Structure 1
Amino acid sequence: MEPISHLSTVHVKSFVTGASGGELVQFAFTTPGVEPGDDDWHTAEWETPTVTGCTARLLVGPDGGYEPGEGTWDLWVKATGLVEAPVFNTGQVPIT
């Protein structure tokens, strides 16, 4: 992912294969190599579903739903359905 300025308010996005868009979706930003705890999760939203899955997004930055601060963060996505709640580490997000 391209670096994001800490002055920006942007959607951070992640595609979730197999998601219908009806699940509860949450993002967590953690120090690299650290798994998220219960208090790290932030409610995200879905874009329009496709036949293969759906893109989740969270508005981050000074005017967004969450402001992670400067640094390089591991991005985690959790999609909670009726039975399953898979958690994915989707890569790193650099914020400058």
Structure 2
Amino acid sequence: AEVCYVGVTSSAPSSVARTPEQFTQKLDAFAQKRADVHGQPVSTHTIVSPDPIADLDDDLIKAIKEVGADLVVMPTHPPKNLDVIMPSHGGKVATHTNVSVFLVRPRDG
């Protein structure tokens, strides 16, 4: 199965990349390294957003449809009290798409 790495960036310079084009180059390089390690086909999909924090959920939902994803794997954080008021990105993606969503939490310590 092909793995598509999706990245969301701002149109403004950031600590990751100065331009969306540079961000795409870095995402492509990352994906190719993963392909070399795992021996599977990869692709990338860059989303340029004027406000990545505010638009992230909607941008990810749109990208899932655009790339035709069957499964989404995304990072998450341990549940917090604030999650009752503001749902997690993974929760919104799972409830607003018809694909399986696998959330990966970081290990403690």
Alignment TM-score, normalising by the size of structure 2:
0.28
Structure exhibiting the larger radius of gyration computed from Cα positions: 2
Q: Which has the higher strand share?
A: 1
Which protein, 1 or 2, shows the higher relative CO under an 8 Å CA cutoff with sep ≥ 6? 1
Q: Which has the higher helix share?
A: 2
